[in-house]
Copies of this chain bind each other. A is one copy, B any other.
C-alpha cells in the first residue's frame, strides 16, 4: 500500500472576526494551493470539510467555489476533534486506493455550535466546558499536589510561543501573576487558563507516495494513527488524571509507528485548558506520570518550545473544526523545517493529539520525515 503524506498547508489568521465559515474555508484552500503552486486542483480526488457549523453540503459548495471537482466530498463532524477525524479519513481514502490526493479544510466561527455539550442532561445547567475543565483541574491538582501557580506556567509558555505564530489569535505575553490575577472562573480555573473559541480555518493536502515525491515540498509521512471514543460524557472516566481515550489512542499510534513516545521531537497537544498540557504529555508517555508539570516548567525555563510551538489552543485560539487541522499543519511545517522563528531544532518525529468533549475521545497521529 502507498504511504500517505501531508505535503502542503493553508493557514489563515485566527481571530474574533464575523466572517462566514464558507468564506474562511475558501481562504484556507486558496492559501493551500499557494503553498504548492505546481499541484493542479484537477488532481484532487477527495474534498473533506471539518466543521461544527450547521450548514449542509459544504463539501460540494466549498469545492465548487475554489474550482475543485472531486469524486468524494462531504463534511465530518466530531466536535473539537473533527479536524483529525477528517485527516484520518483522508489517509484511509489514499491508503485504500480510492484517492491519490485529498484536501481537508477545517473551520468554525467563534459563535458556532459545538462548544456547549447541550445533550448531556446529567450536567443540568453546567454545560459549558469550564465546568468539566474545573473538575479535571481539581483532580489533577489534588493527586500531584500541584498549585494554581504551577498551572499558570502553561498559558505563560503558550502565549509566549504564540507570538512567533503569525496566525495565532494571541498578541500578548502574560506573566504568572497575570494568569493568577485574571478573572476567577471557578476555584480551579482563571480566565487565562482557558482557550478561547474563535474564528479560524486551516487546510492541508494529503497525497499518495508517488504524488508526494513529485512535489517540491518535503513529504511528511503519517506513520502512526490511534483513535479512541471512550464515551460521550466524562462521568464514565474512572480516573480523571488518566483519561482512557488519550492512553488508548496514544498506544495505538506509537505501536503502529513502531516508535517510543520519548522519541517525539515536537508535539501539538490539546491544551483547551491549562491542566491538559501536563496531563496529556503524561498520558501519552512523553514523561512519567506525576512529572508532567515539572516537564512543562522545564520547557518554559529552558525556552524549549517542543510542546505546542504554535501556541497550542491557549495561544493560537480554538476554532473547533479547524483546530485538529492546524495542529497537523504545524507539525508538518516543523518537520519540513518551515516553521520560521518558532522552528524546533531538526525534528524528525512529530506528534499531534486532538480530543473532544472532556477527553471522551482522542486522536493521536505520529508524523515523520
Contacts and interface: CB of A to CB of B under 8 A. Distances in A.
A193 to B, nearest CB: 24
Given A56-B113, A74-B82, A61 B98 contact: no
B92 A227 contact: no
A94 B56 CA distance: 27
Classify chain A's interface size: 35 or more
A77 B74 contact: yes
Contacts of A70: 228-229
A73 interface: yes
A193 B6 CA distance: 47
A109 interface: no
A216 to B, nearest CB: 27
A77 B77 contact: yes
Contacts of A114: 56
A90 to B, nearest CB: 9
Contacts of A56: 52, 77, 79, 113-114, 119
Please classify the interface of chain A as helix (H, G, I), strand (E, B), loop, or mixed, using the class held by over half of its residues. mixed
Interface string A13-53: 00000000000000000000000000000000001000010
A48 to B, nearest CB: 9
Contacts of A225: 98
A249 B57 CA distance: 18
Interface in A213-229: 225-229
A232 B92 contact: no
Interface string A72-99: 1111111100100100110111111110
Interface of A: 1, 47, 52, 54-57, 59-61, 63-65, 69-79, 82, 85, 88-89, 91-98, 113-114, 117, 119, 225-233, 236, 248-249, 252, 356-357, 360-361
